[in-house]
Structure 1
Amino acid sequence: MPQTSIPQQIIALKDADLAMRDQLIRTGQLGEGYHPDMAQLHNHNAAVLDDIIDRIGFPTVDAVGKEASEAAWLVMQHAIGQPVFMKKCCALLEQAVLAQQANPIHLAYLTDRIAALEGKPQRYGTQFDWDENGRLSPNLYDDLASVNNRRQAIGLNSLDEQTALIRKQAARENQSPPADAAKRRQEADEWRRSVGWLA
């Protein structure tokens, strides 16, 4: 495959992901657990991007351009059924951030997503889920003051401000909490065990 086609290939992965999300929003299925079509697409996209990374290295802005680099991050962020791939990407992204070749906000989101999937505290409070009161709230995090300091250091707003924005977006998209929160949590834990996030 010609090297010049790689950025377009990565962008196409992102476009397919966002189109699927829009379709699930329109049909009211986005909040109904991890939709099998979405899971299949995320796994496919992860496999394609993993092959690209093996060939060209981490898709930095210098390597593939800004749009494709951001698209690659979205694919990594959504590859929740692929723990090995996500952790590999996180390590490569950390190196790229240290070399000032990638966005530290992307690293914060990917680090937090991995922590949330493993049931560990987040460092930046970027990952949200429905709480026991039926409101979108940050997943477990370590300490609010520390979280806000880390967020500020990389140019993010406060956790309270982000929570308000997340809840507004969910309302715009007509998202609603699960009918049976306990059942949804149990199913989510079973799924995380099945793909290797939990022992």
Structure 2
Amino acid sequence: MSHNHFAERIIELKNEDLELRDQLIKRGELGEGYHKEMEQLHSRNAKKLNDIMDIIGYPGIDKVGKEASEAAWLIIQHAIGQPELMRKCVRLLKDAVDEQKADPKNLAYLSDRIAVFEGKPQLYGTQFDWNENGEMVPNFIDNITKVNERRKSVGLNTLEEQTAIIREQVKRENQSPPEDFSKRKNELEIWKKKVGWIK
């Protein structure tokens, strides 16, 4: 069953997200912590998407089409202040992937993002952050020798290729490493506790 109205709304929410990101890049405000404006937009979009999911279930390709399904995943991926919603969505997304109604790459990204916020190792190496040397690197991976095999199994490029892409992207967007790595790490841990990722 097609839900065109919901598909259009989901795509609009994604576009609002990307427009704000572009504005923050242009203003040189992306990269130093979680920008307040972005946090508020992500939270609003997550709530609106959750309301849609209460009506139609997970917005898989069969319900809203490929573009809106991808847009829904992006909104979920950015709902980092809503741990319970992200955990609920990763279960729904797994079912959709099992039924071939969603992209397995999206499940890899969402699973990794949740693992990183919970302080666990990621499986696919999709999540990156600055290290203490000011380099953009993958967050901790459970098994570095198996990561490329896993990435290939869901249609991702190699970790080495992705690292080069991510580093080029942050350069293009004029993102720079935190001035005080320890302070940023500490602030992130406080934030994760505050929103409920860790106890």
TM-score by length of 2: 0.97
Q: What secondary structure is seen at the aligned counterpart in 2 of 1:144? A: coil
SS of corresponding position for 1:145: coil
Alignment partners' CA distance in 2, 1:151 and 1:9: 31
Report 1:63-102 matches (<5 A).
Answer: 63-102=63-102
Q: Which amino acid aligns with 2:164?
A: A
Q: How many residue pairs end up in the alignment?
A: 197
Structure 1 unaligned segments of length 5 or more: list them.
none
Following superposition, the deviation at residue 4 of structure 1 comes to 3.1
3-12 or 53-62: which moved more?
Answer: 3-12
State the one-letter code of the partner of 1:47: K
Report the equivalent of 1:46. Answer: 46
Deviation per residue, 1:150-171 (Å, 9 max, x gap): 0011111111111111001111
- 1:132, 1:42 → 2: CA distance? 28
Match of 1:137, SS?
Answer: strand
Q: Which amino acid aligns with 1:192?
A: K
Moved over 3 A (4+): none
Match of 1:195 in 2: 195
CA distance, structure 1, for counterparts of residue 181 and residue 27 of structure 2: 21
Q: What residue is the counterpart of 1:15 in the other structure?
A: 15
Question: Which structure 2 residues correspond to residues 1-199 of structure 1 after superposition, within 5 A?
Answer: 3-199=3-199
SS at 2:145 equivalent: helix
Aligned partners of 2:9, 2:99: CA distance in 1, in Å? 25
SS at match of 2:179: coil
RMSD of the alignment, in Å?
Answer: 0.7
Which residue identity does 2:194 align to in structure 1? S
**Paired AA for residue 124 in structure 2:** Y
Stretches of structure 2 lacking an aligned partner (at least 5 in a row): none
Q: What is the rounded CA distance, in whole Å, between the counterparts of 1:4 and 1:72 in structure 2?
A: 14
Equivalent pairs: percent with the same residue?
Answer: 59
Distance 1:169 1:55 in 2: 37
TM-score, scaled to structure 1: 0.97
